[in-house]
Structure 1
Amino acid sequence: MSVTNTHKQLLGRSLALYGSGCLIFSVGAYLFIHSNLGTDPLDTFALGLMAHMPMTVGIQTLVALLCLLLIAAWTKTRVMLSPLITFFFCGSIIDGQMALDWAQYTILHSYVAMITGGFLCAYGSALIIMSNFGIRAIDLLALTMSWRRSIPFWIGKGLIEGSLLLSGWLLGGPVGVGTVCFFVMVDDLIQPMIWANICFFNLSNHAAPSAV
């Protein structure tokens, strides 16, 4: 097999992981929103900040950009733009589901929707990380902390999102049972899910092995 064909196969597998991850994450995020039991830590921070600043939109994008700028400064590399593709791609899928609101035709209880949504968000994030393309900005910053400071991924992600959650709460942002569920489930499950995908489903991890 030629090097070109091998490269095409690896690229195809990476994009398959990425696309699947974005779809699964977006379904999970929609179910989490549909449960109406709380916001994720980033939204808690955004809503808290909006109560004190004349900003109505774009705070999540601003946080993502700040993460990417910090990564670029820390690693002395160019700013990565692929996480923004993921941000808008997943956002578009979530918006489409919100418009259809398909979950209203199911019998999902709010807590079932919340737990299922958190699980799917974690699994989708794991697949996106394994694709090594368009890794979500906060996840990428947590991975950079892991590579640079040998901090376990889940601790790095927990520190980042925990800081957003605490700051948002202090600013008056909403914190519900869903917020805590999202924080605990997604932060703690991504790393085991990557391991399970490699060991049990024989999926390739295109990201640096040391990240997980």
Structure 2
Amino acid sequence: MMTRRITQLLIGLAMYGISLAMFIRAGLGLDPWDVFHQGVSQKTGFSIGVVVIAVSFLVLLLWIPLRQMPGIGTIANAVLVGLFADLGLWLIPGFSHLGGQIAMLAGAVILNGIASACYIGARLGPGARDGLMTGLVRRTGWSVRLVRTGIEVVVLAVGFLLGGSVGVGTVVYALAIGPIVQVLLPKFMVPERVKATDGTTSGPATEPVEAVPTAPAA
């Protein structure tokens, strides 16, 4: 079971990084955190993959006062998404015509949804940014919607001011990613094993699927 979870996690994170590269190549707008990453990248000269990794570890520092504990998936997420984003940008060409941009955007949204369901379903820990959100929810008592919206508005605004790309892709991502992941997550969710009173495992647990984050990975 653990082999499947780790394999699924790694595949999901690789696809997530490639989908980020596809969003950038589409040139029609990014999700809020990646608008921020792109803006920082443009101002500093570092590749977007390096910025994604650096921001991930900086956000993880904010987990300390929130008493959040990272999992294997948290650390893997912090490293691999950025690496595969840079690899994707090296492999994937840009488009100069709208038809190609739209096709690339559609592919990016679908691949991102599959990737998100894949790594969330592995149950090996949230990404740094989602962990920040859940930690703030727990410590403040505010709603998930309020905390997530507040964080994403701030990073979107800062990223836009730094030169990050905001456009129709930003809106499409916000509207489409939640429903896509919600549909796919049950297919990728690795069931937890139920421990019997004697300490043995008796079989997979049957649990309701948790609410899907709007932007689960980066």
In the superposition, relative to structure 1, how do residues 46 and 38 fare at CA in structure 2: closer, same or farther (>3 Å)?
A: same
TM score, norm. by length of structure 2: 0.66
Residues 137 and 143, structure 2, Cα contact 8 Å, conserved in 1:
yes
Distance 1:118 1:156, change over 3 A: farther
Does the Cα contact within 8 Å between 2:114 and 2:181 map onto a contact in 1?
no
Indicate the residue corresponding to 2:65 in structure 1: 73
Please identify which structure carries the higher helix content: 1
RMSD (Å), alpha carbons: 3.6
Which ranges of 4 or more aligned residues in structure 1 deviate by more than 6 Å? none
TM-score (norm: length of structure 1): 0.67
- Distance apart, 1:129 and its partner CA: 2.1
Aligned match of 1:122? 113
Q: Which amino acid aligns with 1:123?
A: I
Counting aligned pairs with the same residue, the percent is 23
Number of corresponding residues: 190
Match for residue 56 of structure 1 among 45, 52, 55: 45
Is the CA contact (8 Å cut-off) linking 2:53 and 2:79 kept in structure 1? no
- In the alignment, is residue 197 of structure 1 matched against residue 185 of structure 2? yes
| 2:156 aligned partner | 165
1:47-76 Cα shifts (integer Å, max 9, x gaps)? 54577x7x433544443233212222112x
Distance 2:210 2:65 in 1: 19
Q: Is there any run of 5+ residues in structure 2 with no aligned partner, and where?
A: 193-206, 212-218
Aligned to 1:92: 83
State the distance in 1 between where 2:84 and 2:165 align: 24
Structure 1: distance between partners of 2:69 and 2:64: 6
Where in structure 1 are there 5+ consecutive unaligned residues? 1-8
Please list the CA deviations of residues 92-121 of structure 1 after superposition, one character each: whole Å capped at 9, or x if unmatched.
Answer: 2233333232788xxx73112112212321
Q: Distance in 2 between matches of 1:102 and 1:171?
A: 24
